[in-house]
Structure 1
C-alpha cells in the first residue's frame, strides 16, 4: 500500500486524464437535443460504463500485460508518451485526437444512444485513463491499495456524473475561457505525470541509468 497522500495524487491524475469539465463542451454538443430525463439516463449509463472499464483495467490490466508479454516498464514509457500527447493538446485547450476525433464526433451526432460510444469510450474512459489506472494499479500491493484505488475511481466517476447531469447549467454559466483555463491547468499536471512515468520506465528498462 502507498502513502495516503499518494492516493490523493492518483485521484488528481485520474481527474486530469478524464477531464470532465474539459470535455463538457463536447458532451453538450452531443446532447443538445436531449431532454432532462434522457440526460439523467445518459449520465447514469456513462457513470456505470466508465467505472466498469476503469475497474476492469485496475484488476486485470497487469494480467493482460503479462499475457501479451509486455513489461510494466515498457508500458510506463508508452503510457507516458500517450499522456504527454494528451497534455500537449490540453495545454492548447484542445481535445486530443487520441481521445476524440472528427470522425467519432460525426458518428456520435448520428447515433440515437451516445452514452457508451463515444461518450464513455473513447472520450472519457479512453486509452489515457486506462493506462493511468493500470500504471498506478501496479504501483502498490495488498487489498487496501486496491480499495483506495477503487475509491479514487468512484470519486472521479461521481464528479463526472455531476458534470454530465449539470451540462445545461454549465453551458449557461461557464464561459469557454473558464473551461480552457481549467483544461490547461489539468494539462500541466498531466504533463508532469507523463514525464514521471517515462523517466521511471526508462530507468526500469535501463538500470544503468538509475542514480545510485
Structure 2
C-alpha cells in the first residue's frame, strides 16, 4: 500500500545495511542482501501496520520507518516508541538469521512525508524534518561512530516525558541504556532476552570488536 502524506512530530528510525559496499563486489550477494532487507521490512511493516501504525520505505541499502501518530486513537507516545522498537527488533532478528547486520538510529522531532504525482519511469517521495535529518546524520556521522548491529536513540530532541527516571517509558525501557562513554544516546539492546544479559553482551561485543565483522556477528547471536 502507498504511504500517505504525513506532517507532524514523531519517532523516525533510519536503518542501514552493514557492509553493503563490500557485498557489491559480488553481485549475487548484494542482490540477495537487498532482497532480504526489502522482504523482511515488508513483512514486519505489514504485520505491524494494522495495529501499531508503523510505516516505512526502503531505498538501496537503507530504510526509513516512522510512527503515524493519531491522537484521536488515544495511543500514548510511550506506546508509539514501543511499537517502533518492536518493529526494529523484528527486522534485526530476521536479518541476523541471514548473517546480515544493520545499524539503526532513532530520533524524535518533526517529520514530513509528501506524495507527489508519478508517471512511468519516475517516482518522487520527498522526506523532510529534523527527526529524519537527526536519525540519518547520526547513522552516517554520529559520535561515537555507530557499530554493526547497534540500535540507538538520539537523546537530543526527545519529548519531555522521556527521561532516565520515567518508569512509564514502555516495556522496552529496561533494554534502553546509556552506554559507557556516550551520554548522547540510549542504546537499545534488541538481541538480549532479559536486561540481566546486557552487561555480559557488552563484554562479548567489546571482545568481538577487535575481530571486526565476523566477531560482531558471533557476539550478536549469543
- TM-score normalised to structure 1 length: 0.28
Higher strand share: 2
